[in-house]
């Protein structure tokens, strides 16, 4: 992992986290337990803080950033950020899946138990109500989340990334 102190802030990690060799974690980043930052992912807490709960996975090529003096980035527990997604200056609550290539812009709030579909673009200030599935450009609600999606996608992916991280630590 590439780690860098910026403006007097150095990343802080919880227990049993995994970092790919070329993952980049910079500045004011606070991460909970059992998190994983995968290949070519960038978590850049240089202009504002980035905070993550437990069991967060930031998949290959994803970027987490914030907006200087305006919007930090906060992720709750059991959040999966898919490959090549961009999460910028927003708040994401517990049990959320951000699909591959999705973009979540400044001042967005994604409440718990929600899915942002692959390729979706949440424009600035979008508020995703708990239990929603959003898709499209710009993203709109397409349905309520089902128990099947909650357990078969959100929880399954988060648990799988705990397993994958163990493979790399062995």
Q: Where are the domains of the chain?
A: 2-169
Q: Give CA–CA dist 100/58, Å, rounded.
A: 11
Q: Give CA–CA dist 99/155, Å, rounded.
A: 14
Q: Give CA–CA dist 70/77, Å, rounded.
A: 23
Pair type for strands 103-104 and 91-92: unpaired
Residue 2 confidence (pLDDT): 95
The CATH homologous superfamily to which domain 2-169 belongs is Hexapeptide repeat proteins (2.160.10.10)
Q: How far apart are the first and last CA of the chain?
A: 17
Q: Give CA–CA dist 9/57, Å, rounded.
A: 22
Average pLDDT along the chain, 170 residues, taken 10 residues at a time: 96 98 98 98 98 98 98 98 98 98 98 98 98 98 96 96 95
Residue 170 confidence (pLDDT): 84
């Amino acid at each position: 992992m590439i780690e860098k102190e910026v403006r007097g802030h150095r990343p802080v990690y919880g227990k049993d986290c995994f970092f790919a060799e070329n993952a980049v974690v910079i500045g004011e980043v606070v991460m909970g337990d059992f998190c994983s930052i995968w290949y070519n992912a960038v978590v850049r807490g240089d202009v504002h803080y980035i905070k993550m709960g437990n069991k967060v996975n930031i998949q290959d090529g994803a970027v987490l950033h914030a907006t200087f003096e305006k919007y930090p980035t906060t992720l709750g527990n059991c959040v999966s950020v898919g490959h090549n997604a961009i999460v910028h200056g927003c708040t994401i609550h517990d049990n959320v899946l951000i699909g591959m290539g999705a973009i979540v812009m400044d001042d967005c709030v994604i409440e718990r138990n929600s899915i942002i579909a692959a390729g979706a673009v949440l424009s600035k200030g979008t508020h995703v109500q708990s239990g929603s599935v959003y898709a499209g450009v710009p993203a709109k609600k397409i349905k309520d989340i089902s128990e099947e999606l909650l357990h078969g996608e959100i929880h399954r992916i988060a648990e799988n990334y705990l397993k994958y991280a163990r493979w790399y630590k062995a």
